[in-house]
Chain A
Amino acid sequence: MRRGNRPGGVARGIALAALGVLLGATAACGSDGGSSSGSNVTIRFDWWGNPDRAEVTERAIDLFEQKNPTIKVETSYAEFNAYFQKLTTQIAGGGAPDVLQMDYRYVREYADRGVLSELDSGPSQVDTAGVTQQLLSGGTINGKLYGIPPTQNTQVFSYDFAQWEKSGAAAPKDGWTWTDLKTAAQKVSDSTSGAVRGLGDFGGIEDWFEVWLRQQGKQLYTPDGKLGYTAAEVAQWWQMTDGMRRSGASTPAELTTKMDGSQANDPVAQKKASAGFGYDSGFTAKSWEILGREFKLAAFPTDTGKIGQYAKPAMMFSVSKRSEHKPEAAKLINFLINDADAGKILGMSRGLPANAQIREQVGGTLSGPPAVGFQFEQQVAAKLEPAPPPPPKGAGTVKSTFQRVYDDVIFERSTIAQAADKFIAEAQKAIST
């Protein structure tokens, strides 16, 4: 009977419309007041870094939330190793963050396993016009963009110049050699009777081995993802670094083995060594306070005239493939990379901004350690080579294997030649499985 009742239908329509308006109004209220309601979206952004970086990142996020009142961002951060351990577990459990900080060394690993979303097309597309193609290629796998570098950095040698002067060690200059490095480091160790070593033993860190390899025209990985060197090069490198340990120029095995990338276990931060290799993006606003003294930066020593360093994507931002809020995630990345105000807040906290305009703008406002990092980048810019393509799957394991097997050398458990062979065998296995 009622089916044909027109007035009733109209009334119902009006009621629905009214309800719609009402809902719309509450939604609007919600976004104005910042409280949660239907149209609001919460995304998660995880990254690695230190408290310095955390402070500016939080401020940038606040600004993003102000400019995008319907998007709420939850953040969390950890130190590099802990970050990746947690990330793997989260992704495997289906709880990956929407926006995540990705490393150049791992981007292929994660992209190949179908964990990351494309950033050059689809819902998570980001405007990358301001970023140089060279940096973008670091996040490009099989022609698709999976990670956008917000910043670039490069390898750097840093030294406690006051200590070096006191010890009579010659400061690094253009074209200095590995022998110069050893001589200077030895002076520091000798003048302090070994209390402060010239160098933290860097022989187990694949990153610095890579620079040395590139100085000789070789590379870590060939373009088709094979090892670009042999046991002979590894042995030669370890021969050099182990020589520094034996002569006392660098740290003893007990200190070296603890190096895990954290500040707490870094001999330079503990004032047990006066110099070491690193990335220039590591120098953030409070670095001198944390390290307890000031440092100067220099290019790597070289025996070939080539410095071997390259403009490396300091990190990347990626979007999880399973994210339910890809457009919002992309919006956040876009903001962090391209927004002038965000650039002002973030400064050099993640390295040299990849966006040329922001880079220029940031350059004029810096002081303290970031200014030192910025000057260094300007100084070596002309000599930096383009970054190699992202390393193959298993590269992370190769890096940790490199350090682990170097322990055999410094604890003198095997000869250098044996250790080098063992490393190559394990590395081959890691990238082939």
Chain B
Amino acid sequence: MAVQVLGSRDVVRASRERQRRRYGERPGIAYLFLSPWVLGALLLTVGPMLGSLYLSFTDYDLFTTPEWVGLENYRNLFTDDSRFVAAVWVTVRYVLISTPLKLVAALAVALLLNRASRAQGFYRSAFYAPSLLGASVAVALVWRVIFGDLVSSPRYALLVIVALAVWQFGAPMVIFLAGLEQIPQELYDASAVDGAGWWRTLRSVTLPMLSPVIFFNLVLETIHAFQAFTGAFVISSGRGGPIDSTLFYTLYLYQKGFNEFRMGYASAMAWVLVLVVAAITAVLFRTARMWVFYAGEDR
């Protein structure tokens, strides 16, 4: 009798209550399951990062004991290193050119692939494949051979690496596809009834509804672009040439640390990069308020 009086919500609550009584409150379990990730993050990420923060204030040659030098590395970076300035410009140019191109390519292909068809699975895999291979040294080597003449020209070498990056649009494409599938069909039906064409629908339905995903991809790809290394390293044989035209920030950092045995200096460079990327991400989040539309929000 009493059960019938109870609403379904009460039933759920009662069953939870029962479970709690049987198993007790044991938040420890949660931490136990979390522990591999927490340990991994502490030992493999936070620990080494703190280590490199310390090293960035030292003169450290990789082999002998680090010597404390205070802010000297940072001071030299900004006042006494013309190659540092060159590396910053190369990287900024790379980020500004490759990130938008890659996102546009990923979105365009995602739009093409976002229709029901049997061959869909095949095409999606085919377009995703370069991203799987792309980070590998082998593809960069092939790239170097194919674009042999452009790679050795100071004007075009960077663009070859940009092209390599854009070609690997698979990861953002997959995320875009998932986002596109989340857009309710009713909105498209309504816009069709209103007589909206393809372009109008894209601008007024697809892009606003997709904006959180676009934002996510933008942040991720910007961070990735700042960290680009493999392509430049392989294509320029680790030298960043010709005339420093492919001297990516991370490549210069590597040269300082491992070719010139100045790991303290390289650590300072790494921390400058971390801070800059953090600042840029914060700026992106600020601007997001202006153009990112979350469903359920009133506008």
Partner of B261, one of A85, A88, A253, A400: A88
* CB contact under 8 A between A85 and B260, given known A113-B63, A113-B64: no
Contact in complex: B242, A407 (CB < 8 Å): yes
Residue A375 lies at the interface, judged by CB distance under 8 Å to chain B: no
Q: Tell yes or no: A397 within 8 A of B by CB.
A: yes
Stretch at the interface among A29-37, A147-155, A169-177, A254-262: A254-262
Option from B151, B238, B243 in Cβ contact (under 8 Å) with A413 = B243
- The one of B62, B238, B241 in contact with A85, judged by C-beta atoms closer than 8 angstroms, is B238
B149 on interface, CB distance cutoff 8 Å:
yes
Task: Identify the closest chain B residue to A259 (Cβ).
Answer: B237
Given contacts A113-B64, A255-B152, contact A88 B258 (CB under 8 A): yes
In the assembled complex, which residues on chain A have CB atoms less than 8 Å from the CB atom of B242? 253-254, 257, 407, 411
Contacting pair B262 A411 (CB below 8 A): no
Instruction: Assess the B152–A258 pair: CB atoms within 8 A.
Output: yes
Across the interface, which residues of A come within 8 angstroms of B262, CB to CB? 433
> Would A85 and B63 count as touching, CB distance under 8 A?
no
State whether A91 touches B62 (Cβ < 8 A): yes
Residues on A with C-beta less than 8 A from B149 are 254
List chain A residues, Cβ under 8 A from B154.
407, 411, 413
CB distance from A270 to the nearest CB of B (A): 10
The proximity string for A residues 112-129 relative to B, scoring 1 for CB distances below 8 Å and 0 otherwise, is: 011100000000000000
Q: Which residues on the A side are within 8 Å of B151 (C-beta)?
A: 258
Once bound together, how far apart are the Cα atoms of A115 and B64, in whole Å? 9
The reply to whether A88 and B62 contact each other, CB–CB distance below 8 Å, is yes
Can you list, as one digit per residue, whether each of B243-269 has a CB less than 8 Å from chain A (1) or not (0)?
A: 110000000000000111111000000
Q: Which of A255, A396, A411 lies in contact with B243, CB distance below 8 A?
A: A411
- Residues on the A chain within 8 Å of B124, using CB: none
Answer yes or no: B35 CB below 8 A from chain A CBs: no
Indicate if the CB atoms of B241 and A400 lie closer than 8 Å: no
Contact: B239 with A260, CB < 8 Å? yes
B interface size (C-beta, 8 A): 22
In the complex, the answer to whether B63 meets A81 with C-beta atoms within 8 Å is no
Contact with A along B223-239 (1 / 0, CB 8 A): 00000000000000111
Q: Nearest chain-A residue to B65 (Cβ)?
A: A114
B145 to chain A: closest residue by CB: A264
Given contacts A254-B149, A433-B262, contact A92 B241 (CB under 8 A): no
CB-CB under 8 A for A404 and B244, given A92-B62, A113-B64, A397-B260: yes
Partner of B239, one of A89, A113, A404, A411: A404
Given A85-B259, A433-B262, A407:B64 Cβ within 8 A: no
Measured CB to CB, the nearest residue on chain A to B262 is A433
Known A257-B242, A404-B239, A411-B243; contact A114-B64, beta-carbon cutoff 8 A:
yes
The answer for the CA separation of A404 and B259 in the assembled complex, in Å, is: 14
- A400 close to B239 (CB less than 8 A): yes
- Tell whether B153 is near chain A: CB-to-CB under 8 Å: yes
- Does A407 contact B259, Cβ atoms closer than 8 Å? no
A407 near B63: Cβ-Cβ < 8 Å: no
Q: What's the Cα separation between A91 and B63 when bound, in Å? A: 7
| Shortest distance between the CB of A46 and any CB in chain B (Å) | 16
CB pair A257–B64 under 8 Å, yes or no, is no
Q: Return chain B residues, CB-CB under 8 Å to A396.
A: 259-260
CA–CA, A262 and B144, complex, Å: 14
State whether A257 touches B152 (Cβ < 8 A): yes
Which residue in chain B gives the minimum CB-CB distance to A413? B243
Given contacts A253-B242, A407-B243, contact A85 B258 (CB under 8 A): yes
Judged by a CB distance under 8 angstroms, whether A265 is at the interface is yes
Cross-chain contact of A397 among B244, B259, B263 (Cβ < 8 A): B259
Instruction: Give the residues in chain A near B258, CB-CB below 8 Å.
Output: 85, 88-89, 92
Tell me the nearest residue of chain B to A422, going by C-beta.
B82
Q: Which residues does chain B contribute within 8 Å of A407, judged by CB atoms?
A: 154, 241-243
Contact between B259 and A400, CB atoms less than 8 A apart: yes
In the complex, how many angstroms separate the beta carbon of A204 from the nearest chain B beta carbon?
10
Residues in A with CB closer than 8 Å to B62 are 88, 91-92, 113
B residues near A (Cβ < 8 Å) are 61-64, 149, 151-154, 237-239, 241-244, 258-263
Question: Lowest 6 CB-CB distances: which A-B pairs, in order?
Answer: A113-B63, A92-B62, A257-B242, A260-B237, A254-B152, A407-B243
- 8 of the cross-chain contacts (CB-CB < 8 Å) are A81-B238, A85-B259, A109-B261, A262-B237, A396-B259, A407-B154, A413-B154, A433-B262
